[in-house]
Chains A and B, each alone.
Chain A
Amino acid sequence: MKSRGKVFAWFVIILGMLYFFLPLIATFVYSLHAKLGHLSFQAYTNVFHDPKFIRGFTGSLIWATLTIIFGILLFVPTAFWVRLKVPKARTAIEFITLIPFVVPVIVFTFGLVRTYSHPPLLIVDSPFLLVAAYTVISMPYMYRAIDIGLRAIDVRTLTEAAQSLGAGWGTILFRIIIPNIRVAILNGAFLSFAIVVGELVLARYLVKPAFAPYMMDLIQNRAYEPAALAIISFALTWACMGIISFIGRGGQAQVGGGH
């Protein structure tokens, strides 16, 4: 009885692993067939030499970096201030940070484009709108990560100690609070990075160069290069999650966006 259960457990696990790895193996094998007759990394070379790839990829990197910086600058002071001075605002803020879960990205994009593509609110072409939108869709992860980080430290005591030594608010935030919650911030930052780099819809409808729209075009026009890109993208996801679990110690790493 006991061993039969164990056999069944192994069976389920192996089935899961097959399902997990087979598509990746197929993609990898496929990506090596760009040269007729023998295996090569030609598809990867082609991708890295494509100026559009460079444009899309650096685009995504820039959006991700700006989103993370903007997110930190907006959410750390807010979460800090709410904990310290205006606990009444807490419920409202938590509710707002969860709204992106309820509004699917395509619906959010729809509302955003329709709202900001008419004068006087004609900012649909501005790169700032894209960064703001990314900040919103990564908000549930970023804000929550920061808030959890603040919960773990004694915000009030640290602040009062810093104040009695003569520190101003800027010093308190940047030299006391942020260094103390850096693990939480990094956690949120890598999740945001994974979301932004994998995100298709916003970049596509706001017409900005990014990784996912580039790959989408490539699927329609090329055979082997998308396979190479899928592998690169998988390696990126893996790296992000690896870093998160390395720095985060048991924190759950999951993203809802980008599906």
Chain B
Amino acid sequence: MSTYQPQYRKVNVATSELEMRDAPKARPAQPKRSWAWLGVVPFFLFTFLFLLYPSSTIVTRSFRELGKGAFTIDNIITLFKTPYILNSYWISIKISLITAIGGALFGFLLAYAAIRGGLPTFVRVSLLTFCGVASNFAGVPLAFAFIALLSPAGMLINWIKLTGYNPYFHGFTLYTMTGLSLVYMYFQFPLMVLIIAPAIDGLRREWMEASQNLGANSAQYWRYVAFPILLPSLLGTTILLFGNAFGAIATAQALTGGSINLVTILIGSELSGDVLGNQGVGYALALGMVVIMALAITGYTVLQRRTERWLR
């Protein structure tokens, strides 16, 4: 190493002598300009025109007075002062919460039963395949499938009626919140199974054996080992399911013909018929959804990162 040092110095001296002898430098040292960024311009241009700009108008126009363009928070205040708007958020949140928690519980049970229940492997493989299909089978066809099953003349209702009991005489309907929640579960719990399955796979058998060696019973293993490890993943996925239901519209629209007061349906009717009578409030309504979704997705991401620590 040390033998090279003087040589470098010699070279340096040589160049500076050269510079001194020669006329002024022809080209001053210039950072090489790179045009590589041009390659991503189409992507940014496209997403700006068809995603970022239209989405950002929802934010900006929520805070703008109609026609005049002056800043205002009246639109936001109107959201909180109009009972049926508040109600629509409330119903959307309630349905999303119920189906997220219900879907998470049942999905977890299913995934756990298939993976760790001591069942043959084909159960696990077919469950995951079914879930892949079911989590994608939504919207109009799904609504109709449940109409065929649970409408007043549906197959299952006809069977139950044979016993002399008609659920429709005892408060059950497919077309309100209870029924809609039941339908939403069809795409909620499969999503839970798909996302939670790797987390359950990550529960090592050694952990259970170790806890057994230390004298823990099954309840203690769950309380102190498995549950704390799975908790972030369970919570995170529940939040994701919440967002999944919260943004849904097609299923509810097809099932109830728009008679159920969800935020998404309200935005839909505002878009086709200006039902709110004030465009600014329509933007604010949409903004509220984006805020809730953003919170949900952020929560999911944070919790998912915490789980990954254990799943290597």
Contact = CB atoms under 8 A, between A and B. Distances in A.
Contacts of B186: 19-20, 23
Main secondary structure of the interface of A (DSSP, over half): helix
Interface stretch (A45-53, A60-68, A175-183, A249-257): A249-257
A104 B264 contact: yes
Interface stretch (A34-42, A85-93, A147-155, A157-165): A85-93
Nearest to B264: A106
27 contacts: A13-B110, A13-B127, A23-B145, A23-B146, A26-B149, A81-B40, A82-B40, A85-B36, A104-B246, A104-B249, A107-B58, A107-B267, A107-B290, A112-B50, A114-B279, A135-B46, A199-B139, A200-B254, A205-B268, A205-B272, A219-B143, A229-B141, A234-B137, A244-B132, A255-B136, A259-B138, A259-B139
A12 B149 contact: no
A27 B145 contact: yes
Contacts, number: 260
Interface string B23-41: 0000000000000110110
Interface in B235-293: 243-251, 253-254, 257, 264, 267-268, 270-272, 279, 282-283, 286, 289-290, 293
Contact of B36 (A81, A200, A253, A258): A81
B36 A99 contact: no
Contacts of A241: 129, 132-133, 136
Interface of B: 36-37, 39-40, 42-44, 46-47, 49-55, 57-58, 61, 106, 109-110, 113-114, 117-119, 123, 127, 129-130, 132-149, 154-156, 185-187, 189, 191, 194, 243-251, 253-254, 257, 264, 267-268, 270-272, 279, 282-283, 286, 289-290, 293-294, 297
A226 B141 CA distance: 8
